[in-house]
Amino acid sequence: MSGQQRRDLDEMLRHAPLDVGGDVSEARAVFHEMMTSIPLPPDVTTTPGHLGRIPVVTVDTPGSDPDRVLLYFHGGAYAIGSAADAAGLAADVSRRCGARAVCVEYRLAPEHPFPAAVDDAVAAYRALLDQGIPGERIAFVGESAGGGLAVAALVAARDAGLPRPASAAVFSPWTDLTVSGASAAGKARLDPSLTPEALRTRARDYLGSSAGTEPLASPVLADLTGLPPLLVQVGSHEILLDDAVRLAARAAEHDVRVELQVWPRVPHVFQSFAVMLDEADEALNSAAAFTRTHWNPTKDSADSAAAAP
């Protein structure tokens, strides 16, 4: 892998205009401008809609199977970002998985504090199931806060008695809203995107009167028993490294099939930069392979047999 690619990306992120912990309205506008500054590929289609009462943006790429769904949760520290802003990375994952992505427009803090985002995530999943799409044809994907939200939604869906999805893949997940991991300080100098202070600011916005130790706020503290196979990807140059490592350890402790991939010398949600970073391209291919592996093999075999002459 190219050290120059990593250095170029690090330099670009350190000079980016986004202040994650700054004024919410300004941060949202800057983030939106950054995320939409590169047009989507011309063969990507985005369609606004709803899953039940939850707004979503459906992202389709050529050849995607409409019966397989990536339920996608965007990042932005629970206060920034949108389903539309996530369409670029969601489309990349969609293309590699051969499935449509449905990006969830969950409510943001501080206007809608915890557990609004979790409630919306579970409601969107329930609506997909109500449409007749079985859980084994649905995979959760999330980045940053959306990665933590994906895991929290899995826990909440399990507790609600809903069928579990086929798998979940989370990129640089924020799973500890107390920001107590050792890497919050230990990796601060190396992380070009996030600071512990910014995360603590956004955590206060999201948590409101909650402590942050609630399992659905900080799923690294949750009972993860019964969750589907989980892939956790993280860069070694980010303050959320410990959130990912501890999540994987927690999943293993609770007998969840889990894969942890720590990619050296790359930053937060490095998967977004596949056009300029070899590691990002490789990581997305790995995530797609993981997701495809865990689609229901029994149903796939039955479908193939039914289609045979």
Pairing of strands 45-51, 167-171: unpaired
Q: Which CATH superfamily is domain 3-307 in?
A: Alpha/Beta hydrolase fold, catalytic domain (3.40.50.1820)
**Length of the chain, in residues:** 309
Annotated domain spans of the chain: 3-307
Beta strands 230-235; 258-263: pairing state? parallel
pTM of the entire predicted model: 0.95
Task: Output the pLDDT for position 301.
Answer: 40
Cα(93)–Cα(114) distance, integer angstroms:
28
| Regions of the chain short of the pLDDT cut 70 | 1, 296-309
Structure-block tokens of residue 152: 């929290």
How many other C-beta atoms lie within 10 A of the C-beta of residue 272?
23
Question: Based on the number of CB atoms within 10 Å of its own CB, is 183 exposed (0-12), middle (13-18) or buried (19 or more)?
Answer: buried
Phi, psi of 169 (to 5 degrees): -125, 125
Q: What is the largest CA-CA distance in the chain?
A: 62
Give the dihedral of Cα atoms 77, 80, 85, 88; nearest 10 deg: -20
Chain-centroid distance, C-alpha 148: 7
Identify whether the C-beta of residue 292 lies closer than 8 Å to the C-beta of residue 169: no
How much is the pLDDT for 307?
39
Residue positions annotated with a catalytic role? 144, 238, 268
Give the distance, in angstroms, between the CA of residue 152 and the centroid of all CA atoms in the same chain. 11
The confidence score (pLDDT) of residue 296 equals 61
Closest of 136, 159, 154 to residue 230, by C-alpha: 154
